[in-house]
Amino acid sequence: MIEVYIDGASAGNPGPSGAGIFINFKDGTVERHAIPLGIMSNHEAEYEALLHGLSICLEKGIAKVSFRTDSKLIDDAVEKRHVKKAQYKGLLEQAILKIDQFEMFFIKWIPGNQNKNADELARLAIRKNVESQ
């Protein structure tokens, strides 16, 4: 089962934001995605990282995935399929529609020091965002 490490980051809250997605195919192959997101909050960037990661996996026809995030907000929302703040409801609903297309989907919270690849990609995406303005 492939592992997908995701991270969203913002330079300001809200501010220029980016999503980092690091995919480990467990066969020695990895993919790195640094996606500029425009201006948004850090929490929105975390959701966008999840959505982009899910979309990439679905486009590749991957049936079984294990996502890793250092965001408790994302981990809890996906596990419970519920958000406390109404502003994130639509983002979670989009994620669930994608998640339900997988044969197997897991998400696991990990400490930030285990998510360095995705974090570096998210920060690179912020810089890409700023450079394109």
- Domain containing 25 equals 2-131
Looking at residue 133, its pLDDT comes to: 54
Looking at residue 132, its pLDDT comes to: 61
Report how far apart, in Å, the C-alpha atoms of 72 and of each of 45, 65, 78, 80, 103 are: 14, 19, 10, 12, 24
Domain CATH code at residue 106: 3.30.420.10
Mean pLDDT split into 10-residue runs, the chain, 133 residues: 97 94 96 97 97 98 97 97 94 98 98 97 91 62
pTM of the predicted structure, to 2 decimals? 0.96
Report how far apart, in Å, the C-alpha atoms of 23 and of each of 36, 42, 62, 70 are: 18, 21, 11, 15
How many domains is the chain partitioned into structurally?
1
Q: How far apart are CA 69 and CA 108, in angstroms?
A: 6
The first and second tokens of residue 133, run together, are 């303005």
